[in-house]
Amino acid sequence: MRVKVKLLILMCVLFIMLPFSPTKSYGIETAVRDVEVTLQDYVVDRPVNYFIRFITSQTLLGGRDMITIKFPAEVNISENINRENISFNGFTTESIDYDENILKVLVPSGRSVQYGELVEIGIASAAIRNPRVAGDYSVSVYTSLDVREVQSRYFTITDYEYSDGVSKPTVKLEITEESDPPAYEIIFKTSLNGRLSGGTDKVMCEFAAGTGIPSSIDGRYITINGITLAGQIITPSGRTLALPLPLYLNIPAKGQVKINISYEAGLTRPANTYNTYNTLKVWTTVETRAITSFEYETTNSEGTDNQAVNFQVVLSPDGINVPAAYAMQIVSGYLTDSNADDYVSGFILSFPAGTGLPAVIATEHIKVNGTAVGGILSDPLKKEIIFTLPAAISLQQAINIQIDKAAGIINSAVAADYKMEIRPLSSPKSWTSSFFSIRPVSSVVTNPVVSTPVGTSPAKQIQLRINSSLAVIDGVSNTLDAMPVIVNDVTLVPLRFISTALGAKVDYVEAGKYASVEDSTKKIILWVDSRTAKINDEFQLMTQAAKIINDRLMVPLRFISENFGLTVSWNGATETVTIVQGQAAGDTTVTAEVVTQPVDTYPIGYKAYIKAENTYCNLRLGPGLNYTKTGEALPGEALTVLLEQEGWYRIRTTSQEEAWIAGWMVDIPRS
């Protein structure tokens, strides 16, 4: 009897202790708490990096325990997702399993997670993209120790790509038969500052290349928010329709705009793009940034479903952080713009964020339709390459652009899907490529930096004479290294002379066949044997191109001088040019003083601190979880931000070491 009583007491004690055990919970507790989702970007339909974090309430053993993440159906996950796309606390797992938005990740061998530790699972953007519909979303997480799942905090996906643009438009086409014109329905929202006033403001819609648009459209066939534009005759400008808001239709900030264009309006589908996906662009007189719509399908009567490839980019190799060759194919007519000429003398290529561009690219490394370009300007900060062509080409022909690997373009260090933009120099608009992928590999490449000479202080008055090497600068005679000449009634002077005349920084890049002239407020780019000039971010056409004469680069004197605020006068009798710094003689106009506000470089140069909820922050060799961990930063340490890239910061520690940290782990106060 005494033994039975003792046994009963022991069983009661064990039963009471079970719920409080910090080890395996036998299905009573969950091993997951405080689940949150952090995205690289919260815009609809974007391929972005996902990070799912939680605190574990149990010990998870490496090589044995599994973590399961259930995504909402709206999140688009590639069926080809593989373990290289997944990181577990910065390490690659040996095994994953994916099926219908449920992802299972095995804890890596030797990487067990103890009670109370943080778990972070990263998913590369090459394998996942945001929902197409704006809204609040969450994921659910559980482990192989659990019997119930834990829902994350909600994360919000927005359909506004920019603060100064409308929301990403959706487009529907109603097509009854292959030969019939389609009826369009275009829906978007104005932004927080995008209120539209009836009778004053307009909505602009630019349709896909190849869309047939009549010379005029009766407003009866178009409605905005159900109100007809009867009494209006809409006259297209190329592929763009400017639709005036009806007099009494005011659309509030963040208000919906629904445009219906009936088949009677006579718009036709792109003649050469049946069975494809297209986009259109929308902007307003208040929000002037053109926003590209979601792709809308144009099908024939059989309803086949193939992706349009109007502008395709192929990289070789396509690994991260490695030099690559670029091949770009653009279908004929895709870059046409009614506001510009059909013939173009050059292009601007905009590369994705994170791409490394060299400061100088030789002309032989870029070919258009098999011919080397005439001149190249590379802008590593803006991620742009501008190049001219030796002879203008028609935009109605197919265009093939080849960039050699030897050009020195370095792929982004972040594995993701990207797009490029191209803009003809004759057009104010740009066109976007289809997506291309950069995949994870390991390589580190640095880009060379090329400096340019600095000019002297500006002279007050300069006199030159054509075909004479003598110049009088502020009363002192000087000898030029080349004589000014007149070509097509335009005076050309040696480039280096501009440094003395303007006090400007000048440089000539032989490999790119261009010259730059720059002071504190303006920069001018001139290409050899091209009449195209770039002034800051605007392009102009000169009456005379820069030329190389007797091994000296000669540039148009008046064009450069007047763009820098100098006054140029010409005495035909003596063939003398006089340049006066500032106001012309006898000019009594007073120029107001311009005060330049300091540029806010935030967060560059500011101090970063570990967030209060974190006990430390990993330092890494590069901007991503796939880079090797080099150390840790502790709370209270002031880290100086040197560079920002894709949500990561390059920092300098108090011990003067440089490394990368994740942006979501730190606060960067402005004060």
Which of 298, 323, 339 finishes a domain?
298
* Residue appearing with tokens 């079970």: 18
Closest by CA position to 545, among listed 534, 529, 533, 557: 529
Question: What is the reported pLDDT for 403?
Answer: 92
Q: Are residues 536 and 422 in the same domain?
A: no
Sign of CA dihedral 239, 244, 245, 246: negative
Instruction: Let me know if residue 444 belongs to a domain.
Output: no
The domain in which residue 649 lies consists of: 607-667
Question: What is the reported pLDDT for 500?
Answer: 63
Q: Are residues 293 and 315 in the same domain?
A: no
Higher pLDDT, 539 or 649: 649
Spell 410-442 as b/e; 16+ CB within 10 A means b: bbbbbbbbbebbbbbbbbebbbebbebebbbee
Any bridge partners for residue 105, and if so which? 67, 96
Instruction: Let me know if residue 48 belongs to a domain.
Output: yes
Q: Are residues 432 and 487 in the same domain?
A: no
* Residues 26/30/51/79 CA torsion (nearest 10 deg): 50
Question: What is the reported pLDDT for 50?
Answer: 93
Are the beta carbons of 522 and 491 closer than 8 angstroms?
no
In residues, how long is the chain?
671
Question: What is the reported pLDDT for 257?
Answer: 94
Question: What is the reported pLDDT for 444?
Answer: 31
Question: What is the reported pLDDT for 640?
Answer: 86
> Domain holding 55: CATH number?
2.60.40.290
User: What is the average pLDDT score of the chain?
Assistant: 80
Are the beta carbons of 239 and 340 closer than 8 angstroms?
no
> Domain holding 363: CATH number?
2.60.40
Tell me what percent of the residues of the chain surpass a pLDDT of 70.
83
Each residue's pLDDT tens digit, 489-524: 888 888 877 766 677 888 888 777 888 888 878 888
Rounded to an integer, what distance in angstroms lies between the CA atom of residue 95 and that of residue 115? 23
Q: Where are the extended beta strands (E) located within 425-531?
A: 431-432, 436-438, 461-465, 470-473, 476-479, 485-487, 490-494, 505-509, 514-518, 523-527
Q: Are residues 534 and 633 in the same domain?
A: no
Rounded to an integer, what distance in angstroms lies between the CA atom of residue 576 and that of residue 568? 11
Question: What is the reported pLDDT for 122?
Answer: 92
Question: What is the reported pLDDT for 195?
Answer: 92
Q: Are residues 202 and 294 in the same domain?
A: yes
Per-residue pLDDT at 301 exceeds 60: no
Per-residue pLDDT at 205 exceeds 70: yes
Instruction: Let me know if residue 56 belongs to a domain.
Output: yes
Question: What is the reported pLDDT for 654?
Answer: 74
CA-angle at 244, arms to 240 and 246, nearest 5°:
150
* Residue appearing with tokens 């005679």: 477
Instruction: Let me know if residue 455 belongs to a domain.
Output: no
Query: What's the pTM?
Result: 0.43
Q: Are residues 151 and 197 in the same domain?
A: no
**Range from 172-176, 306-310, 419-423, 607-611 carrying the lowest mean pLDDT:** 306-310
Per-residue pLDDT at 453 exceeds 70: no
Which of 266, 298, 330 finishes a domain?
298
Which of 565, 580, 595 finishes a domain?
580
Each residue's pLDDT tens digit, 61-70: 998 989 999 9
Q: Are residues 480 and 427 in the same domain?
A: no
When pLDDT is averaged across residues 649-660 and rounded to a whole number, the result is 79
Instruction: Let me know if residue 449 belongs to a domain.
Output: no
Higher pLDDT, 559 or 10: 559
Rounded to an integer, what distance in angstroms lies between the CA atom of residue 512 and that of residue 146? 63
Spell 71-89 as b/e; 16+ CB within 10 A means b: beeebebeeebebbbbbbb
Model confidence at 450, pLDDT cuts 50, 70, 90, reads very low
Q: Are residues 153 and 186 in the same domain?
A: no
Instruction: Let me know if residue 25 belongs to a domain.
Output: no
When pLDDT is averaged across residues 263-290 and rounded to a whole number, the result is 80
Question: What is the reported pLDDT for 47?
Answer: 86
Instruction: Let me know if residue 93 belongs to a domain.
Output: yes
Model confidence at 474, pLDDT cuts 50, 70, 90, reads confident
Spell 162-192 as b/e; 16+ CB within 10 A means b: eeebbbbbbbebebeeeeebbbbebbbbbbe
Question: What is the reported pLDDT for 590?
Answer: 29
Question: What is the reported pLDDT for 591?
Answer: 28
Higher pLDDT, 581 or 143: 143
Each residue's pLDDT tens digit, 579-630: 887 644 333 332 222 223 334 567 777 888 888 767 778 888 777 776 777 7
Each residue's pLDDT tens digit, 72-122: 989 989 888 888 889 999 888 888 989 888 999 999 988 888 888 999 999
Q: Are residues 267 and 351 in the same domain?
A: no
Distances (CA, A) of 100 to 74, 78, 79, 605: 11, 10, 9, 45
> Domain holding 654: CATH number?
2.30.30.40
Q: Are residues 182 and 286 in the same domain?
A: yes
Question: What is the reported pLDDT for 9?
Answer: 58
Q: Are residues 147 and 182 in the same domain?
A: no
Each residue's pLDDT tens digit, 366-414: 999 888 999 999 988 888 999 999 888 888 888 889 898 889 999 887 7
The total number of structural domains that make up the chain: 5
Coil/strand/helix, residue 264 = helix
Question: What is the reported pLDDT for 189?
Answer: 93
> Domain holding 524: CATH number?
3.30.457.10
Residue type at 621?
A: L
Q: Are residues 509 and 615 in the same domain?
A: no
